[in-house]
């Protein structure tokens, strides 16, 4: 029985899949695959080689650390173990063509996959919880943006989602009470977006013209001021912080929103 040791300084999952895919070509092959992940020190490497030395074995490794790859060769030779480097030649060839030096950080691929997966989930979450939809699920949101119409809630929500946050947004309409789910959220998770009244009227007029909206109150300066006072009162009542979005880009607004969130959340997310 051949014992194939898959050695990695990350999880080793990718290398194991590669080995098992190759073994499929050898029907009924008397071989067992043993994965040894998180091998990141010379001591751990030597322990794996010694383990393999006690069997009829082959070591296939995907070590990104140049130091560990260099150590693996003499260790295997001294114990009479055959070994093959699956990662080193690829890194060397890429470094030559890209004219760059590899970072040699274990687990980077897994981190990238996890980050991408979270981004996809976050964007889906943002679209499902746009404009007050699925209010009963707002407790799952990491940040909820509230504000009157045309205060950049949706574009800011989407931008935050692409940064890996799970955001939602809820419109503030004076004649319609906010859903109880919004009012029950921790105040530090709710951010109100506000805008200078005259600028807000301009944006609403453009939208009203485009959609041929008949509602005059929507673009009335007096009514807009009334809406903004109402949203400000809600902030005072419920302890919500505000971000003035007047003249700011979506990126600037999103950055200000994040800076208002709990410190522990900011630390775990990537810096912009």
At 80, list the tokens: 């009479």
Question: Class of 112-268 per CATH?
Answer: alpha beta
Angle between helix 66-79 and helix 42-53 axes, rounded to 10 deg: 30
Which is more confidently placed, 255 or 114?
A: 255
Query: Rounded CA gap, 172 and 42, in Å?
Result: 60
As annotated, the residues of the chain forming the CATH 3.40.50.2300 domain(s) are 2-106
Query: Dihedral sign, CA of 103, 107, 110, 116?
Result: negative
pLDDT in tens, 182-229: 999 999 999 999 999 999 999 999 888 878 887 778 889 999 999 999
Q: pLDDT value at position 29?
A: 85
> Which CATH architecture group holds 2-106?
3-Layer(aba) Sandwich (3.40)
Q: pLDDT value at position 105?
A: 54
Query: Dihedral sign, CA of 219, 222, 226, 232?
Result: positive
Q: How far is CA 145 from the centre of its chain?
A: 19
For range 59-63, the mean pLDDT: 90
The answer to whether the pTM exceeds 0.85 is no
Q: pLDDT value at position 267?
A: 45
Neighbour-count burial of 42, counting CB atoms closer than 10 A to its CB (0-12 exposed, 13-18 middle, 19+ buried):
middle
| Range list of β-strands (E), the chain | 2-8, 31-36, 57-62, 82-85, 143-147, 167-171, 190-194, 241-244
- Assign 226 to helix, strand or coil: helix
Q: pLDDT value at position 120?
A: 79
Q: pLDDT value at position 87?
A: 77
The CB-side HSE value for 77 (13 A sphere, CA atoms) comes to 5
Mean pLDDT of the chain: 87
């Amino acid at each position: 029985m051949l014992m194939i040791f898959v050695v990695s300084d990350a999880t080793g999952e990718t290398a194991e899949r590669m080995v098992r895919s190759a073994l499929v070509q050898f029907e009924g092959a008397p071989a067992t695959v043993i994965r040894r992940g998180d091998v990141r020190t010379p001591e751990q490497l030597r322990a794996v080689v010694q383990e393999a030395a006690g069997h009829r074995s082959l070591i296939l490794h995907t070590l990104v650390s140049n130091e560990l790859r260099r150590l693996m060769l003499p260790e295997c030779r001294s114990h009479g173990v055959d070994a093959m480097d699956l990662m080193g030649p690829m890194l060397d060839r890429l470094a030559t063509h890209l004219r760059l030096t590899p970072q040699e950080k274990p687990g980077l691929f897994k981190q990238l996959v996890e980050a991408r997966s979270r981004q996809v989930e976050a964007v889906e979450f943002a679209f499902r919880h746009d404009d007050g939809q699925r209010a009963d699920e707002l407790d799952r949101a990491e940040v909820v943006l509230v504000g009157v119409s045309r205060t950049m809630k949706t574009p800011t929500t989407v931008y935050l989602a692409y940064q890996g946050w799970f955001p939602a947004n809820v419109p503030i309409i004076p004649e319609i009470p906010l859903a109880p789910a919004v009012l029950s959220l921790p105040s530090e998770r709710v951010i109100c977006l506000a805008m200078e009244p005259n600028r807000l009227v301009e944006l609403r007029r453009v939208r009203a013209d485009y959609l041929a909206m008949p509602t005059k109150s929507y673009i009335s300066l007096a009514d807009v001021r009334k809406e903004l006072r109402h949203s400000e009162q809600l902030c005072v009542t419920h302890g919500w912080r505000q971000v003035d979005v007047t003249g700011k880009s979506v990126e600037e607004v999103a950055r200000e929103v994040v800076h208002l969130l709990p410190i522990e959340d900011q630390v775990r997310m990537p810096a912009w």
